[in-house]
Amino acid sequence: MVAFKNDKVSENVSRMLKSGGINTTVTCSTAAEIRKQCLYLGEGIIICGYSFSDSSIMTLIDDIPESFSVIVIGKFEQICMCDDERIFKLAVPLKREDLVYSVSMIMNFDESGEYHKPKTKNSENHEIVEEAKRVLIDKYDLTEEQAHRYIQKKSMDTGRKIVDIARAILD
């Protein structure tokens, strides 16, 4: 959720997030709207300014369920007044990379508060290949090495990537 009293700021922050691969679902401009969306969404990340026309973040934070993380963007003097441990603070001027990295980091904490490194394309591809090997092992009673060689040979014979062969096996 992106929430600033100025719609133009909300649009700019949403655009920064989108260019970093993070889609926003809701934009708000008042504390009342944030409260309503929190009830509707149930959990998420709120990226907001220090104040709204009807409240400040310090007044609002008590009404935000613990299932929401809050990132406050503002002038250094303003964000220093945010003393709640649930509030992450980013000072302006803000770089897109800092915002995207901060949101990505928060998204990768689990319920126990442990950080999990986001999956990369390589790790996802590796999991696909491993799953295809398990299918070959189970279905054709191959060893892991034989299954790997089979996928590798099909890749070389067809000129396709190993992960594409693995996907074909899984399909």
User: In the chain, which stretches have pLDDT less than 50?
Assistant: 110, 112, 114-118
Question: How many Å apart are CA 91 and CA 13, to the nearest integer?
Answer: 13
pLDDT of residue 104: 86
Cα-based angle 128, 134, 117 (whole degrees, multiple of 5): 40
pLDDT of residue 156: 86
pLDDT of residue 115: 41
CATH class of 2-107: alpha beta
pTM greater than 0.75: no
Q: Where are the domains of the chain?
A: 2-107, 121-170
Cβ atoms of residues 71 and 45 within 8 Å: yes
CATH topology of domain 121-170: Arc Repressor Mutant, subunit A (1.10.10)
Say if strands 68-74 and 51-52 run parallel, antiparallel, or are unpaired. unpaired
